Amino acid sequence: MTDVSDDTRDAGADATIRACLSLDQPRSFFLYAGAGSGKTRSLKDALEGLDTQTLTTLRKHSRKIAVITYTNAAADEITRRVKADPVFQVQTIHSFAWSLIEGRPADIRGWLERNLKTEIAEIEVAQAKGKAGTAAHDERLKKMASKTKRLGRLAEIRAFSYAPEGDNFGRDALQHAEVIALAAHFLTESETFQNIVLARYPFILIDESQDTMKPLMEALLTFEARHRGRIALGLLGDTMQRIYSDGLRDLDKRVGDFEQPAKQMNHRSRARIIDLANAIRREDDSRQQRAREDKPGGTVRVFLAPSEGTDRAAFEAYAQAEMARITGDPAWQDPETIKTLTIERHMAAARLGFSDLFEPLSKAGNLKDGFRNGTLPAMRLFTHRILPLVEAHMSGDAFTAMAVLRDGSPLVDKRIIRSDRGGQATGLDQARTGVEALMTLFEDGRDPCCAEVLKVVAEHRLFPIPGQLRHCLPDYGSVAQDLADNIDELDLDTSEAIPPTENNFTEAWTQALEAPFSQVARYLAYVEDRSPYGTHQGVKGLEFPRVMVIADDARTRFKGLASYETLFDVKPLSAASRKKADQGEETTIERTRRLLYVTCTRAEDSLALVLYSESPDTIQEFLISKGWMAEDEVVMVEAGTFDQEAAPQS
Ligand SMILES: Nc1ncnc2c1ncn2[C@@H]1O[C@H](COP(=O)(O)OP(=O)(O)OP(=O)(O)O)[C@@H](O)[C@H]1O
């Protein structure tokens, strides 16, 4: 008998996956295993391990292996692993759905027409029942008008547009949910479409499948069942890590006919963290994991404080100092080497100090997605043009400053110079004067507000001003027009097809522009994931040596997201939730428990849970009686120690 080691204990699962990925006899599988069990690693290994003959056959017939990841970062990582071989089509679910439907404008138009008509009819019914004069009534009127307008314009659209990331504006743009619904519709309803997909992809592999949008997952399961034996649908996932309500709740029960390789190891975390994860999970599906022998020990601590009156910054600094002392790991004192997880981004924004920028923009309807993921064009003027220019100047790096201008300023754009709107010297001189004016704002260590910065950039035409910001510049007038003419001519237009009547955008921007410019750099570090902060939801699939999870219901705005107070018995489930639970629907308790499982299992060596509660005693009692924590793992501080008034001003 061969020796079984931690490295090879789950090797059978990988062998099963390899066998499923056969062109002659493709078989679907569901690798359902806990956190850190190496699901993503199995996926990469399976792709790398495909034999040459399979790959040659695929290339010969222009077939591809679809690999769907949850984030772009994960897609990039897998692409790197497979050396960007085009036989692997690695992308997020939205890009994948779009790649399926993109070339079918007539079908899209037909679907949209039917869908819009249905939606309008539904609103009409609701309108007939509702009372006139209410906000809901007015809202419905607006919706009906906009849908009717869109319906009327459908015939004019030759090609639909869609950006899988960020905001989709403009009359030909499709929304995220529409792209998912369209792909799902064609996959189940159109035989031609199904045959195209079968011809193109012998294998469709989906990582983090527990969070794949329900309609598309349902459609893929139906499609797979109809064509079983002709395609392998490979799902990797963990229902305990489903963090969005979009995912198919009972995915594990829907794949009875699939191969179901199992894994028992957790390769990521030290034993104590796995024990906690097992305890949390025991309340759910009772799947348990085993630690690696070479990863014993590990530290877990809970820090409890009253939600009322506690100075968060002081208490969290204390928790970090305690963690450094307990673990003997000084890195706990360095904010850069800890990953702090908050449930909502505004909490991270407050801790990182860019709330003035964050608050107005993250609320503004269609702006918020682009702002939150860093793709909002108007914000990119600050993050990708002005900030690098200012930073380069401050550090005396003339070369980089020039490169930033060459990259984005029409004043030094060769094409403008060629278009005879001024000689090279003039453009460069103008740019120099503009940059000087810009830099005077920062003299003597001043931190100007973004509005001041924008004004100088616009006056000196340093960079094109995106449409949304033009409305915040009352004097922009002729200068803007002149510049916009140039830009349009050069196909550099940065407007986002937003009608000037979008007052709420202008209002949001006007407020945000009051933020000090220094907040732009903090915002950028956050969206580029260079900051020590992340959200519970954003750290899927990732791992960090030291993790600090912050649970702060009192400061959570979207109450439907999670409730630690309910999970820990401080607050009872509402009557409505109990009723839902009786009908088999999931409760806040389950949702919060899953989030806690995901966050705790990101930690490799040590984990601090910082909990703010109306009743810290109740939480302590819960944690100890359930066996989640030992008594000496719960740190309660004396009342008053971290009172907001008592704490020194930061
Ligand atoms: N067989 C193995 N031997 C050693 N290390 C492994 C093995 N499998 C996975 N790992 C390591 O364990 C960690 C977790 O692996 P991976 O991210 O693939 O797990 P996962 O199941 O996708 O995790 P999660 O569901 O929590 O996101 C990674 O650092 C990976 O390199």
How does pLDDT run across 334-364, given as a tens digit for each residue? 988 999 999 888 888 888 899 999 888 877 6
Q: Is 355 in the pocket of ligand 1 (CB under 6 A)?
A: no
Who wins on pLDDT, 647 or 581? 581
Is pLDDT of 385 > 90? yes
Q: Is 605 in the pocket of ligand 1 (CB under 6 A)?
A: no
Are 302 and 629 contacting, i.e. CB atoms less than 8 angstroms apart? yes
Query: Which ligand 1 atom is the nearest neighbour of the CA of 540?
Result: 27
Q: Is 39 in the pocket of ligand 1 (CB under 6 A)?
A: yes
Distance (angstroms) between ligand 1 centre and the Cα of 243 equals 19
Q: Which residues contact 254 (CB under 8 A, 6 or more apart)?
A: 221, 248
Are 240 and 591 contacting, i.e. CB atoms less than 8 angstroms apart? no
Distance (angstroms) between ligand 1 centre and the Cα of 39 equals 6
Q: Which residues contact 180 (CB under 8 A, 6 or more apart)?
A: 93, 94, 97, 213, 215, 216
Q: Is 238 in the pocket of ligand 1 (CB under 6 A)?
A: yes
Q: Extract the annotated binding site for ATP.
A: 33-40
Distance (angstroms) between ligand 1 centre and the Cα of 36 equals 5
528 pLDDT tier (thresholds 50, 70, 90): confident
Per-residue pLDDT at 499: 38
User: To test the ligand 1 pocket, which listed residue (10, 40, 294, 295) has its Cβ within 8 A of the most ligand atoms?
Assistant: 40
Average pLDDT of the segment spanning 278-304 = 95
Per-residue pLDDT at 649: 42
- Residue 361, burial from CB neighbour count under 10 angstroms (0-12, 13-18, 19+): buried
Q: Is 242 in the pocket of ligand 1 (CB under 6 A)?
A: no
H or E element, residue 550: strand 544-552
CA distances in angstroms from 133 to 41, 137, 141, 142, 220, listed in the order given: 57, 6, 11, 13, 44
Distance (angstroms) between ligand 1 centre and the Cα of 83 equals 20
Query: Which ligand 1 atom is the nearest neighbour of the CA of 33?
Result: 21
Q: Is 7 in the pocket of ligand 1 (CB under 6 A)?
A: yes
For helices 518-527 and 345-352, the axis angle rounded to 10 degrees is 140
Task: Map residue 295 onto helix, strand or coil.
Answer: coil
Nearest CA to ligand 1 atom 1: 7
Nearest CA to ligand 1 atom 9: 38
Q: Is 334 in the pocket of ligand 1 (CB under 6 A)?
A: no
Q: Is 41 in the pocket of ligand 1 (CB under 6 A)?
A: yes
In this structure, of 291-305, 392-406, 525-539, the range with the lowest mean pLDDT score is 525-539
Q: The tokens of 337 are what?
A: 């080497």
Nearest CA to ligand 1 atom 15: 38
Q: Is 267 in the pocket of ligand 1 (CB under 6 A)?
A: yes
574 pLDDT tier (thresholds 50, 70, 90): confident
602 pLDDT tier (thresholds 50, 70, 90): very high
Is pLDDT of 482 > 70? no
**Dist. CA 598–CA 539, nearest whole Å:** 8
Q: How confident is the model over 110-168, as pLDDT tens digits? A: 999 999 999 999 999 998 888 888 878 888 888 899 899 999 999 888 889 898 875 56
Average pLDDT of the segment spanning 537-552 = 91
Are 534 and 352 contacting, i.e. CB atoms less than 8 angstroms apart? no
Q: Is 114 in the pocket of ligand 1 (CB under 6 A)?
A: no
**Dist. CA 415–CA 502, nearest whole Å:** 33
Per-residue pLDDT at 489: 31
Q: Is 269 in the pocket of ligand 1 (CB under 6 A)?
A: no
Residue type (1 letter), 404: V
